[in-house]
């Protein structure tokens, strides 16, 4: 997995106040990480860092690390680590599915991250995702279906995979009754299957990661997320096709709960105030529009 740069010598995760963006067990930094574990901070360098396996009409394109970095005999899927505050979340196994077969292809698991005011750490991550999206579109010669411009990080993953003839059903995951209490997902498993789960955990005080139910992640939590990229071909009007470049969450680790994040947000606010520029004052004057009799003479005598 790879981290985003805040500047040429510092990782974005190391800019969060109090080292809150760093896992307690992680001692690496910008200088100790190999090239394939640092996302280039320019579009030009990114061109030599990743490559794309072109997709068919009904399959997703996947993004890989460039063979020059990892060797020609292996394929390593590009995985990025991103940190931020949770604005909205839907990580249940079936995401926002409406319970119908027609709604299965649109069902998404989603996670939206915001800066909490720490733009020095967050904005470089947004810029890195924009560069990745632009390059993937360029490599596949497609038009973007949607490119967010709101300064947030939008992570999405399709809840269901279409079942096709000859598919290996051993990769299907049984949906727990807690997620499918009346069996709607089970009744359509011959058409739509669940083949993944998003791993969720919390970092304990000793630095170890404790596995948790995805529903423990709430708005306001500060999280570290492992993300890959999928590009899905979308049918557009008049027979055209566009590309939906999705940043897909795989693992979400809560570094601080919403309650604990209050202190972090306060630290961010204090740092922001401390960085406000203060100009040297040369002179302060005030013109009230009145002149008292004799003031001119007194000033002259002084």
Over residues 159-208, the pLDDT tens digits come to 999 998 888 888 899 999 999 999 999 999 999 999 999 999 999 999 99
pLDDT of 78-126, one tens digit each?
A: 999 999 999 999 999 999 999 999 999 999 999 999 999 999 999 999 9
CA atoms of 290 and 91, how far apart (whole Å): 69
Whether 93 and 197 have beta carbons less than 8 Å apart is answered as yes
Burial 7-35 (b: 16+ CB within 10 A, else e): eeebbbbebbbeebbbbeeeeeeeeeeee
Whether 78 and 228 have beta carbons less than 8 Å apart is answered as yes
> Structural domain of residue 99, as residue ranges?
2-301
CA atoms of 295 and 302, how far apart (whole Å): 11
pLDDT of 139-167, one tens digit each?
A: 988 888 877 889 999 999 999 999 988 88
* Domains contained in the chain, number: 1
Question: What pTM does this model have?
Answer: 0.86
What is the percentage of the chain residues whose pLDDT exceeds 90?
A: 69
Pick the residue with more confidence: 283 or 1?
Answer: 1
Burial 93-116 (b: 16+ CB within 10 A, else e): bbbebeeeeeebeebbbbbbbbbb
């Amino acid at each position: 997995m790879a981290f985003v740069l805040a500047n040429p010598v510092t990782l974005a995760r190391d800019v969060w106040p109090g080292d809150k963006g760093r896992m307690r067990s992680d001692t690496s930094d910008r200088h100790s990480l190999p090239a394939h574990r640092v996302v280039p901070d320019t579009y030009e360098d990114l061109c030599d860092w990743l490559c794309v396996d072109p997709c068919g009409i009904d399959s997703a394109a996947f993004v890989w690390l460039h063979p020059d970095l990892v060797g020609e005999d292996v394929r390593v899927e590009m995985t990025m680590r991103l940190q931020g505050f949770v604005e909205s979340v839907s990580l249940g196994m079936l995401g926002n599915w409406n319970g119908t077969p027609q709604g299965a292809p649109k069902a998404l698991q989603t996670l939206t991250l915001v800066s909490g005011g720490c733009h020095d750490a967050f904005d470089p991550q947004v810029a890195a995702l924009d560069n990745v999206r632009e390059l993937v579109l360029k490599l596949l010669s497609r038009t973007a279906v949607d490119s967010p411009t709101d300064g947030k990080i939008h992570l999405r993953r399709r809840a269901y995979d279409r079942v096709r003839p000859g598919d290996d059903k051993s990769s299907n995951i049984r949906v727990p009754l807690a997620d499918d209490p009346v069996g709607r997902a089970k009744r359509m498993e011959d058409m739509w299957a669940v083949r993944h789960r998003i791993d969720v955990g919390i970092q304990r005080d000793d630095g170890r990661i404790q596995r948790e139910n995805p529903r423990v992640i709430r708005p306001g939590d500060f999280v570290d997320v492992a993300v890959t990229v999928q590009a899905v071909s979308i049918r557009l009007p008049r027979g055209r096709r566009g590309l939906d470049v999705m940043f897909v969450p795989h693992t979400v680790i809560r570094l601080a709960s919403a309650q604990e994040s209050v202190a972090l947000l306060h630290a961010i606010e204090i740092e922001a105030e401390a960085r406000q520029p203060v100009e040297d004052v040369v002179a302060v004057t005030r013109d009230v529009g009145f002149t008292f009799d004799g003031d001119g003479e007194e000033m002259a005598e002084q």
